[in-house]
Amino acid sequence: DDIEDATVNKIALWLCTFTLSVAVCAVLLLPISILSNEVLLTFPHSYYMQWLNGSLIRGLWNLVFLFSNLSLVFLMPFAYFFTESEGFAGSKKGIMARVYETAVMLLLLSLLVLGIVWVASALIHHNTARESLYDLWEYYLPHLYSGISLFGVLLLLLCTPFGLSRMFSVTGSLLVKPRLLENLEETMNCTAFEEASLSRKLKSEYQDLRKKASPWQRNLGYPVAMLLLLALTAVSVLMVCFHVLELLFDESAMPRGMEDPHLGLASFSMFGSLGAAVQVVIILYLMVSSVVGFYSSPLFTGLLPRAQDTTLTQIIGNCVSLLILSSALPVFSRTLGITRFDLLGDFGRYNWLGSFHLVFLYNMLFAGLTSACLINTVTWALQRELIRAFGYPLILPLHHKCCLYHFNLY
């Protein structure tokens, strides 16, 4: 009911909305660039495609880079401090008092971050750091952006393999699973018989879902979805493994930046438009998997948004996390060799991109972690399904089978 708090929360939500919009744009950077190149290859002399050119794409990359760093460095800290501020002691209460306190907090935070960056630069490049003490724009901010990007890429390295394995269980929970060697009417009778002893709401929802699902949805939808996820994951790992071999024999496989994208000259995939479409699908799939892995990680489970039960601080934390993941996606995709589209603008200025050993180790870790997570998930899922399909019906009597079925359903 407090008008002042309501205004502060509304401003913070506006900033969060802008940040999420920038995150969506960062996710779509590579797909739009790849598809634009294919469109210009397909219609090279079309009058209606003259507006689609390299300068437009480069400007889009520069704007996304600018707004993503603006949101990370200024807007989201401002939103957090603004919601937590109450004004200085002894000052007149109001919106402007909160703005003044937030501005002071941001200034102190900026000095602290710049001091940390200066000390780190002095430890790594002693002479350069001393000569560039006042060269804020050309030296320290690129180092800060490079550090944020490296953190985002490392976060993607940890979250994406785990998310790729979790995609199977998450997708399976949204679909109706086919019951191997199971009589549906018998299962419904068992469910009705044990209804009083278990969660009535959960069972009724599950029964309604299976009754409403058509035979095609019950028996075909789940296997097709699992096969599609398995194919996308396998293609991703194969592309990374092929890129590892490219790194050993081809210098152009290293991620690098370019100033002027020459669109419409050649496809960025050896398989033409079909390969470019696969690249776009793989990039979006990896982004979804990284988000699933991020929220499934024990470290970040507390950030998971819940309907009508998410504080504004959690909303800000979610916006920052999603922006870090999405802004690192172009560098992540190019480092893994998912696409040969080089990084545009300031995305290609990161210092660590030129390190062959770091890029090679990154690709090897991603391929190894993804393969390990996938093998572990598929193995345990196969064992569970085989035990449920062949173990319980052959060994246990009907009553025990109903109890175990309800236990699995719960």
Q: Does pLDDT of 176 surpass 80?
A: no
pLDDT reported for residue 252: 73
- Please give the pLDDT value at position 175: 65
The pLDDT of residue 285: 92
Q: Is the pLDDT of residue 14 over 90?
A: yes
| 74-78, 130-134, 187-191, 350-354 — most confident range | 74-78
Q: Which run of H or of E encompasses 344?
A: strand 343-344
pLDDT of 281 reads: 92
DSSP string, 90-152: TSPPSHHHHHHHHHHHHHHHHHHHHHHHHHHHHHHSHHHHHHTTT-IIIIIHHHHHHHHHHHH
pLDDT in tens, 256-289: 766 667 777 777 777 788 888 888 999 999 999 9
User: Which range has the worst mean pLDDT, 5-19, 294-308, 339-353, 362-376?
Assistant: 339-353
Q: Tokens 């690192």 identify what position?
A: 328
* Residues 125-130, mean pLDDT to the nearest whole number: 54
Greater confidence (268 vs 40) lies with 40
* Choice among 20-24, 205-209, 261-265 with the minimum mean pLDDT: 205-209
Q: Which residue has the higher pLDDT, 396 or 6?
A: 6
pLDDT at 133 over 60: no
- Do β-strands 343-344 and 257-258 pair in parallel, antiparallel, or remain unpaired? parallel
For position 282, what pLDDT does the model report? 92
Residue 168 has pLDDT above 50, yes or no: yes
Residue 159 has pLDDT above 60, yes or no: yes
Residue 49: per-residue pLDDT: 80
Compute the distance between CA of residue 132 and CA of residue 129 in angstroms, rounded to an integer. Answer: 5
Chain position carrying tokens 């679909």: 175
Q: Average pLDDT, stretch 198-209?
A: 53
Phi/psi zone of residue 161: left (φ > 0), alpha (ψ -120 to 50 degrees), beta?
alpha
Range name among 23-32, 50-59, 172-181, 250-259 with the lowest pLDDT average: 172-181
Whether pLDDT at 335 is above 80: yes
Single out the residue of 294, 346, 348 nearest to residue 69, CA to CA. 346
The Cα 133–Cα 308 span in angstroms is 48
- Bigger pLDDT: 84 vs 221: 84
Q: Which amino acid is at 128?
A: T
pLDDT at 114: 76
Q: Which residue has the tokens 């929802």?
A: 205
**Among 138, 400, 366, which Cα is nearest to 244's?**
366
Report pTM. 0.77
Q: How confident is the model at residue 403 (pLDDT cuts 50, 70, 90)?
A: very low
Average pLDDT, the chain: 76
